Structure 1
């Protein structure tokens, strides 16, 4: 049996585009970018000429949550993972000198992407990173090539019972209701969020929740987090706008969801099927931080999704 030169060339091309590049530089670089009054810390890896993947973390986390994912994507993609203001190593103004709202976070991260000249990217979001990412997508739908959500919500049915005291605070933002949430931005609460819904807590590295516990203990940070908790109501109010974006632009979407998340329920992931019938929805036997326990299962799924929809 003979193979034509054109067929052989096509086969070689397909192998080149889909096979992992064992010789690619997967080095992760740790950088800062001054964006207005915010000095944004970010992790970067991969060839800047390759398709970009923008990773947006949530609470209580930072770009550190993507530490295993970033080098696993860097052989084929240009990966950027910033720390949001008030999180991680990003240097941001004190409370009162910067508006700690989701609209402002999105404005800062949007300007960050423009300064780095990221004019097209796949978007991966988690928790708070989701409403920041949705705002970026609504403002510039032409920039978003695909979406990956790891427990990043956009539907009211995704809000679990853990939101009840927070919703009370939304309805009546009194000092009493704010004080009732004082145990939310604490190291003990953060540790609980990492372990809740996990069948084997020994599978969760203490590095993540210990690092975030130290961050939350910085002077003034707890009050900033309570400000963001209050402003989260603005995200819920924008859910119809975000859903309109999904329906109109039909971005390829992969949801990789810890099904025992006490805050964002599986129904929130399943709801995407109403607006994105082709969405790929997958559940894992874990909690809010699915990458912490199920990275080995989730990372190949992310790679496959990106290879299919972005490369």
Structure 2
């Protein structure tokens, strides 16, 4: 008889006065794995991965502030920077009593994860990166040209392309581009994400994070030094057809982590949608060896 899938709890707590939603499964005493989502999604992207890991690990997947079911204060009331998002994530982990953890980072989750590691490097036991960038080699043009132009010189002319990135067409593009069989990707993903993007006031939040993105690149030298000093175990499971973060970004981890395990998958930016089984197998094998 097949074993029942671990129960996934959907919880909300208050961190620094803000409501933070998170998914959690697994035994509280098990090794912790923290899943950090990217733009424009939420912990919804991990809805299937959480139970797939929770028989062996305590899995925690929060929604960042301004995303998913977490609070969405106005930019006047909360500084939408990657430093601020990291502050809230760190506060959540403290509140949940998570002392040491492995982390899965994707897209925006990567710069949040890198900040967590730079603040307390000894707490990070392992890293899984799925199209979560840490090297300039990973940026694919022309996608990033508009982001950096807007960050350097915000104004109506540079803002227009960034508003275009918040449209239904752009959200769907992120999910299906580079996927060999798009029928494997549920439309629920972009419908769900778009409904949250379209909330009144959310465009200003996303534009603020676009403007802050170059601060992540500024941190790269420190991140690379952290990799060299720690030799943290790292697994890259990367959609090699991603037109946002290309496969060169995955291969670049070996510059500072020669033992990094890199698997390029025939998928795109949200490879978990088409390759859940393969990615889960890689993660379970990797964590079983590195956290033993």
TM category, shorter:
over 0.9
Q: Write out per-residue CA displacement over residues 212-236 of structure 1, whole angstroms, 9 at most, x where no aligned residue.
A: 0100000010111111011011001
Distance 1:187 1:36 in 2: 32
Gap runs ≥5 in structure 2? none
Structure 2 partner of 1:12: none
Structure 2 partner of 1:78: 58
Q: How does 1:32-51 map to 2 (within 5 A)?
A: 32-51=12-31
Structure 1 partner of 2:155: 174
Gap runs ≥5 in structure 1? 1-21
Distance 2:196 2:4 in 1: 34
1:253 aligns with 2:226: no
Distance 1:54 1:24 in 2: 22
Moved over 6 A (4+): none
- Identify the match of residue 211 of structure 2 among 221, 227, 230: 230
RMSD of Structure 2 on Structure 1 (CA)? 1.2
Structure 1 pair 146/24, CA: closer, same or farther in 2 (3 Å)?
Answer: farther
Structure 1 partner of 2:103: 123
Distance 1:203 1:44 in 2: 25
1:240 aligns with 2:221: yes
Distance 1:185 1:223 in 2: 11
TM-score by length of 2: 0.97
Distance 2:164 2:118 in 1: 34
Distance 1:288 1:236 in 2: 19
Distance 2:116 2:145 in 1: 28
Distance 1:250 1:175 in 2: 44
TM-score by length of 1: 0.91
Distance 1:203 1:40 in 2: 30
Distance 1:94 1:86 in 2: 9
- Identify the match of residue 220 of structure 1 among 189, 198, 201: 201
Q: Give 1:171 deviation, angstroms.
A: 2.4
Distance 1:212 1:253 in 2: 29
Q: Give 1:92 deviation, angstroms.
A: 3.1
- Identify the match of residue 158 of structure 1 among 103, 113, 138: 138
Q: Give 1:179 deviation, angstroms.
A: 2.4
Equivalent residue pairs, number: 290
Distance 1:289 1:45 in 2: 22
Compare CA radii of gyration and give the structure with the larger one. Answer: 1
- Identify the match of residue 92 of structure 1 among 72, 78, 83: 72
